[in-house]
Each structure stands twice: as structure tokens, then as C-alpha cells.
A and B are shown apart, each in its own frame.
Chain A
Amino acid sequence: MTAITLPLLLIATVLFAVLTVSAGLIWLERRLLGLWQDRYGPNRVGPFGLAQVLADMIKIFFKEDWIPPFADRPVFVIAPAIIIVTVLMSFAIVPFSRHIMVVDLNIGVLFFLAFSSLGVYSVALAGWSSDNKYALLGSLRGVAQMLSYEVFMGLSLMGVVMLAGSYNLSAIVMAQERVWFVIPQFIGFVTFLIAGIAETRRLPLDLPEAESELVAGYHTEYSSLKFGMFFVGEYMGVTLISAFITLLFFGGWRGPVLPGIVWFSLKTCTFICFFILMRAALPRPRYDQLMAFAWKVLLPLALVNLLATGAIVLAFFR
């Protein structure tokens, strides 16, 4: 009996935790942006404005769920679900601590890359089914950006995989016993971080939704809960990328004194805050700059990093 209930309970807990954290991030982001811009942010509803999350959720639930008559109805409905599903699936392989994980997959990194690639469909289908030129432009940008940055997102992780000798995420964390991979794999870390921002379409790389040019990009036509799904999906993506930076480069749950799950949460939270800091500080690049940066700078960098890591591993660690 426990063989069935325990995993189910774990899955439910992970789902609940991820959804709560991503909803809470909406509040955290607004407060932190306020802090860095010398203002307060939401501070009226509840203590420190914490109930703002609740108020926002109630508001978004009760808005009119409008599907434009010119939209491609089934595709329009399914697009926001894809982003939620793909991000949540990736959380299945995240080892929150030594023993807390939904599945200990031996191809963990590949699984994560595969599902982050599938996330492109959400953007593409949302823009296409909206039948709106701004949505289409946004989704075109989104697809091109995500495909380009995925190329070296995978490549930047291969150095870590080489050093750990495994695709398994717990094995990667275990391999960081002596030194965090951020030190031998610093270039890999930087490229993964930038690719992560592009994958989650966060500022400064939020060109698919660039509100100053494209209204709201690919989710222009979405309202109510469907928009909420894109919104929460973005924050779940931020949480996911932060979790993976922690796992792959900063020793995951490893740390002295405190239990593993606390260390994991602390490290992940730090990176989430860093994501928000980037939004507060950096302007959006031009679109051609974004693509040129991906193909002319980051891709060669990731390849050189891969070659150098491979050579060193071959020469000294065999």
C-alpha cells in the first residue's frame, strides 16, 4: 500500500509546493522590484502585502474567459496547458534532497532538455492560433529565440555531464562533493544562465512579449485563467531554471549543518532573486543583437568549453 501512496503523496506535495512558490513569486518579484527601484510595491493587503497573491488570484479567476471568434479554438485552448505541463514534468526529476525526488531518472538532464524544448510549442501555438499579427510576431520571435538558445543550453550542460560521468541529476550532485561545478565549468554556468533566461522568456530577453512593441506578444489575446497559466508558467520556468542551476553548478542539496532540502531551497531562492534583479537592472536588447549574440558568441563559447573540458577529462581523469 505504501508503495503506491507514498509516491502519490510526494507528487502531490511537489505539485503543491511548485504552484505555491510560483504564485508567491508574483508577490516576491513585485516587492523586490520595488526595493531596487526605491519604492514599496504591494504592501496594503495583509502583512507585507502577502495577501496580494490571493487577491490577484481571485481577480484572475473571475475575469471573463474570452476566446476571440477568429481564434483557432482547440489550439488556442491547448497552448497554455502545454507550458504548464512541460514545466511541471521537468520538476518530476528534480532531487530536492538526497532522498526527496519523484523519479530518479538516469537520463535526467536529457529529460529536462527535451521538455524545455517542448515548451516552444506553447509559444508557437499560442501565437498562431490567436490569428493576431502581434501575437504571431511575438511567437515567431519566441520560437526563433528558444530554438537558438536551446542549442547551446544543451552544449553548456555537456561539460557538467562529462565531469560527473552521468546524466543522472543525483549523481551530478553527488559528484560535486569536493568542488561545485561552477568553478571548473564557469563558462558553462554563464552560458546556461543566459540560455535559461532566454528559455523562460524573462526580461532582459523577453522579446517574444516585448510590451513596448508587441502589446503583449504571443499571449495578447489571452485572458482570465488562460493568461494566468502563461503567467504562472513563466514563474514556474524561473523556479525550474533556478533549481537546475543549483543542481548542476552549485552542489544541489549539499551544505553543512542544515538539512539538504533547506540548502536546496536557499540556493534556488538566491537564483530566483538574481533573475528578478536582472529584470530590475537590464534593458531589452534589439532582436538582431539577441540572435547574433546567441550564434556568434555563446555557441562558439559553449563549443570551446566543451572541447576543453573533454580534453582535460581525457588527459587527466581517465
Chain B
Amino acid sequence: MWSIVQTLWKVFLHAASKRRTVLYPEVRPRLPGRWRGRIVLSRDLSGKERCVACYLCAAACPVDCIAMQAAYDASGRRYPAFFRINFSRCIFCGYCEEACPTYALQLTPDFEMGEWKRQSLVYEKEDLLISGPGKYQDYNFYEVSGVAIEGKDTGEGIDDEPPVDIRSLLP
């Protein structure tokens, strides 16, 4: 019986304590940089698309909301002919970002994606691409990998050793 009176009193005292609600449209919540929000496709510092259309993000996606088609441009770079994310399905788990080997696909701290029509939630490559490198500034897949493209042959990358002629090593 006494504990009931105590409970009533303690709850009554809560009238004086601070309210925890964040009044959202007026007061913005501070989101950490690693917040898993809207997905973007980044570019490297030279302004070229980072995505190499390896399909790893599409494979990792638990809800199958990523679709793409790989293609090669004139310089031999692999790129997605189309890249489509259906955000009405996306659960913002971030597995695609973890799977991405080229830091192309990144999640950003933006969650205000409300739309009137479901179809508007399907983002094409033009909607996803941003102008800069996003969270990872100085990474360029083609500069560090052994893949040959126009103007850079195998072995000419950063920290790259010249290719070995395996037959010359024979005894």
C-alpha cells in the first residue's frame, strides 16, 4: 500500500523533469557520421565513377533491392550501365556498403526520403551518384589494383610491382 503512494508521488515529480522528446521538424537530431541512411554512389577524386558493377552489393542485399547491369567503356573501365535501388524495399542494413570493394556505395546520414508515390522511391543511377568521394577521400580502385585500363597497364599502379613472366622463372 505504501509503495503505491510512493509510486504516485515519484511519477508526480516527473512533471518537473525535462521532456525527452525531440520536436523533430523544428529541432534536428544530431546524427553520427556512420548513420545508415540514404545510399549514394561516390566518385573518385578524378571525378570518375567508382562502381565497377561487381554485383557484390546486389548479392549481399537481404531484400534484393539493388539491380544493375555491368558494361565496359572505351577506356576499358567496368561500370554499371544502369544502377537501381528500390528504397521502398531497402531496410538500410548497410550490408551493401560492407560488401562494396571499391568504396563506391556508401550510406549517408540522411533519412528524409518521404514520397507521395512508391514509384518515386526507385532511385536510378543519376539519383544515386554524388559529385565527390564521400566518406573515403583518397581511394581509387584502378590506381591500386592490377587491372589494366587505357593509360595504365598492369604493374603501373601505386605500390605495384611489374608483372612477373612466370615462364622465365622456370629452371
Contacts and interface: CB of A to CB of B under 8 A. Distances in A.
How big is chain B's contact interface, by range? 10 to 19
Interface in A1-51: 34-40
Contacts of B21: 38-40
B4 A282 contact: yes
A161 interface: no
A280 interface: yes
B23 interface: yes
Contacts of A39: 19-21
Nearest to B9: A281
Contacts of A210: none
Contact of A38 (B4, B12, B20, B23): B20
A38 B12 CA distance: 11
B19 A282 contact: no
A34 B17 CA distance: 12
A37 B11 CA distance: 8
A262 B129 CA distance: 66
A44 to B, nearest CB: 10
A278 interface: yes
A35 B14 contact: yes
B11 A281 contact: yes
Nearest to A279: B11
Nearest to B23: A40
Contact of A36 (B4, B12, B18, B20): B12
B158 interface: no
Contact of A280 (B4, B11, B17, B18): B11
B8 interface: yes
Interface string A33-71: 011111110000000000000000000000000000000
A38 B18 contact: yes
Contacts of B19: 34-35, 38-40
Contacts of B12: 36, 277, 281
B168 to A, nearest CB: 75
B56 to A, nearest CB: 43
Contacts of A37: 14
Given A38-B20, A39-B21, A277 B14 contact: no
A280 B10 CA distance: 11
Contacts of B17: 38
A36 B8 contact: no
B59 to A, nearest CB: 42
B15 A36 contact: yes
11 contacts: A35-B15, A36-B11, A36-B15, A38-B14, A38-B18, A38-B20, A277-B8, A278-B8, A281-B7, A281-B10, A282-B4
Return the 8 tightest CB-CB contacts between A and B, nearest first.
Answer: A281-B11, A39-B21, A36-B14, A38-B20, A281-B7, A281-B8, A40-B21, A38-B19
